[in-house]
């Protein structure tokens, strides 16, 4: 078995599996199937999967320090959410969230703030989608707009750089994080993906390299900190959507995928579409930061 072959495949057939994260404290793997309003939790040591129906579609989420709740970017806003009880404690529902716009990709930064961006699903919105952050005081801040589909949010190991992809433009940009306010400096071009291959969810490894799922490209690309392609990992699904590092040693790359938009003929040619793939890449990831309340 080569490093480009999955060591395991979770047969979940998600419409759009997304937002995969590793809870290193509890040894649990979480992800969302956005259109089906389903949150998944895989117990690593038992090999069992549990799922919950969510009150709205979940675009992304993060873990909360000293809590079993999650901070969640639902379609219409950001909230603290308890999957077991279904309790939702809304933090922010920005007025810019109009019909045809919803929250999408997000992540907690290394200072305990939660970031999430929106995306345009339909209609005409002159201002486009936006990028927001929420701090421990529950203050929601809008950073910039003019986005089509927010994706690929991840942080450098020292937290000084924030990476962000706008999928339809096939562009990944990087921003300097100016502390203590968490203000973003001017964007710089980090990488541009190939035609037909849109940068989707991403994660940073212990070497500071980015692993970016390329929707439509059937692969995950590892970029060095200077934006150079270091390696390309083939995925046995046309639409890989997000990645994270999991396992006791953070050395298993986990990749979600999607079957949405594929007709019957395409599904026959793409039998693993919507499944979750595990790889040994010889690289370790970083512990996921936690939202501070």
Q: Considering only CA atoms, which of 258, 189, 277, 251 is closest in space to residue 34?
A: 258
- Exposed / middle / buried, residue 239 (Cβ in 10 Å: 0-12, 13-18, 19+): buried
What is the distance between the alpha carbons of residues 206 and 218, in angstroms, rounded to a whole number? 24
What is the distance between the alpha carbons of residues 116 and 104, in angstroms, rounded to a whole number? 7
275 is catalytic: no
DSSP H stretches of helix in the chain: 264-269
Residue found by looking up tokens 């562009």 in the block: 171
Q: Considering only CA atoms, which of 223, 81, 231 is closest in space to residue 154?
A: 223
Element (H, E) at 78: strand 78-81
DSSP at 135: -
Query: Which residue of the set 105, 166, 200, 275 is catalytic?
Result: 200
Q: Residue 278 in contact with residue 16, Cβ under 8 Å?
A: no
Tell me the C-alpha to C-alpha distance, in Å, between residue 75 and each of 53, 78, 120, 179.
Answer: 14, 8, 11, 29
* Strand duo 101-108 + 219-223: pairing: unpaired
Q: Considering only CA atoms, which of 56, 22, 63 is closest in space to residue 39?
A: 56
Catalytically annotated residues: 200
């Amino acid at each position: 078995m080569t490093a480009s072959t999955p060591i395991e495949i979770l047969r979940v057939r998600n419409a759009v599996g997304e937002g995969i994260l590793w809870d290193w404290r509890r040894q649990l793997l979480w992800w969302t199937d956005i259109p089906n309003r389903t949150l998944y939790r895989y117990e690593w040591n038992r090999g069992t999967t549990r799922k919950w129906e969510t009150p709205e579609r979940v675009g992304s989420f993060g873990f909360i320090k000293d809590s079993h709740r999650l901070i969640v970017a639902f379609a219409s806003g950001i909230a603290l959410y308890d999957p077991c009880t279904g309790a939702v404690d809304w933090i922010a529902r920005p007025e810019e969230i109009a019909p045809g716009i919803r929250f999408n990709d997000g992540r907690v930064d290394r200072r305990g703030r939660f970031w999430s961006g929106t995306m345009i699903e339909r209609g005409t919105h002159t201002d486009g989608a936006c990028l927001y952050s929420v701090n421990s005081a529950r203050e929601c801040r809008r950073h910039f707009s003019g986005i089509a589909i927010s994706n690929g949010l991840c942080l450098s190991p020292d937290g000084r750089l924030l990476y962000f992809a706008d999928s339809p433009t096939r562009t990944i940009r990087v921003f300097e994080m100016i502390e203590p306010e968490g203000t973003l400096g001017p964007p710089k071009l980090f990488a541009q993906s190939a035609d037909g291959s849109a940068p989707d969810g991403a994660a940073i490894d212990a070497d500071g390299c980015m692993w970016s799922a390329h929707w439509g490209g059937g692969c995950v690309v590892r970029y060095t900190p200077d934006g150079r392609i270091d390696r390309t990992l083939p995925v046995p699904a046309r639409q890989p959507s997000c990645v994270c590092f999991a396992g006791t040693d953070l050395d298993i790359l986990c990749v979600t995928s999607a079957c949405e938009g594929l007709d019957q003929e395409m599904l026959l040619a793409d039998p693993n579409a919507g499944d979750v793939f595990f790889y040994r890449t010889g690289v370790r990831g970083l512990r996921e930061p936690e939202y501070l309340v």
